[in-house]
């Protein structure tokens, strides 16, 4: 049987089309989130946004490992000692990917349980797809910080509401873990829950706020224990 030109090229064309589709969907989430999430409601193509996110986050982690001095990087990445960071340097990119995937799936599972408890009858792949594209603000943040680290060799601390509002005392402790990019991600998740699952805005907010609040308290608790 004679093969046509199109039969010889599908693997390359499929990869190119898949990459363009992922980028266009991320752009759609940023400029027209409601319409984009409505189109994603029945989509289970969760691997592409996850792979894109892992590539960007891993590039950021690897940039810190390569360019930022050990003592400074230990503080920036969140390790309590430079020995821990030295181990991360030795393990390389694989460790960064594993850590990212573990945290990501824990976060997705918490959101999925919350969505399901409030009435969303969706599959885990569909939830992964929606949550993956809603992570666009975090991808922008990681990509920006990666460029800064590679160019300067230093990484500025990401701004938080505490630094923006010049908060002090207990208020600073509470707002110190809240970043503008996280608020942006929260808003996109609320829009996603409303447009993809047919939730009211109140139910959508509750579905996202519950795991966010639990994660926030867990982060504060771990931070106090490490300190």
Residue 178 clears pLDDT 70, i.e. is over it: yes
Residue 86 clears pLDDT 60, i.e. is over it: no
Tell me the C-alpha distance between 49 and 205, whole Å.
23
189-220 pLDDT per residue, tens: 999 999 988 899 999 999 999 988 887 777 66
Residue 69 clears pLDDT 60, i.e. is over it: yes
134-171 pLDDT per residue, tens: 999 988 988 888 888 888 877 767 777 777 777 777 76
Residue 93 clears pLDDT 90, i.e. is over it: no
Check residue 46 and give left, alpha or beta (phi > 0: left; psi -120 to 50: alpha). Answer: alpha
Which sequence spans correspond to the domains of the chain?
Answer: 36-226
What DSSP designation does 177 have?
Answer: T
What DSSP designation does 92 have?
Answer: T
Check residue 78 and give left, alpha or beta (phi > 0: left; psi -120 to 50: alpha). Answer: left
- Cβ contact 185:134 at 8 Å: yes
Q: According to the model, what pLDDT value does residue 11 have?
A: 47
Whether the full predicted model's pTM is greater than 0.85, yes or no, is: no
Which residue has tokens 């003592």? 71
Q: According to the model, what pLDDT value does residue 9 have?
A: 45
* Average pLDDT of span 222-226: 58
Tell me the helix, strand and coil percentages in the chain, rounded to 5.
80, 0, 20
Which residue has tokens 């360019």? 67
Q: According to the model, what pLDDT value does residue 106 have?
A: 86
Q: According to the model, what pLDDT value does residue 203 have?
A: 93
Q: According to the model, what pLDDT value does residue 222 have?
A: 62
Q: According to the model, what pLDDT value does residue 29 have?
A: 93
């Amino acid at each position: 049987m004679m093969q046509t030109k199109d039969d010889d090229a599908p693997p390359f064309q499929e990869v190119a089309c898949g990459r363009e589709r992922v980028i266009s969907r991320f752009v759609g989430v940023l400029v027209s989130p409601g319409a984009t999430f409505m189109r994603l409601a029945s989509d289970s193509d969760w691997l592409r946004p996850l792979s894109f996110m892992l590539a960007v986050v891993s590039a950021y982690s690897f940039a810190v490992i390569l360019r930022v001095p050990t003592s400074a990087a230990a503080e920036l990445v969140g390790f309590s000692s430079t020995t821990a960071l030295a181990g991360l340097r030795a393990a390389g990119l694989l460790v960064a990917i594993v850590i990212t995937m573990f945290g990501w799936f824990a976060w997705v599972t918490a959101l999925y349980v919350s969505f399901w408890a409030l009435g969303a009858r969706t599959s885990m792949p569909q939830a992964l797809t929606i949550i993956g594209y809603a992570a666009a603000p975090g991808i922008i943040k990681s990509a920006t910080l990666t460029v800064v680290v590679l160019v300067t060799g230093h990484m500025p601390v990401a701004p938080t509401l505490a630094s923006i509002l010049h908060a002090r005392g207990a208020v600073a402790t509470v707002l110190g873990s809240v970043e503008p990019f996280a608020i942006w991600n929260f808003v996109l998740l609320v829009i996603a829950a409303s447009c993809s699952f047919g939730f009211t805005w109140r139910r959508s907010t509750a579905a996202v706020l519950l795991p966010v609040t639990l994660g926030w308290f867990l982060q504060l608790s771990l931070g106090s224990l490490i300190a």
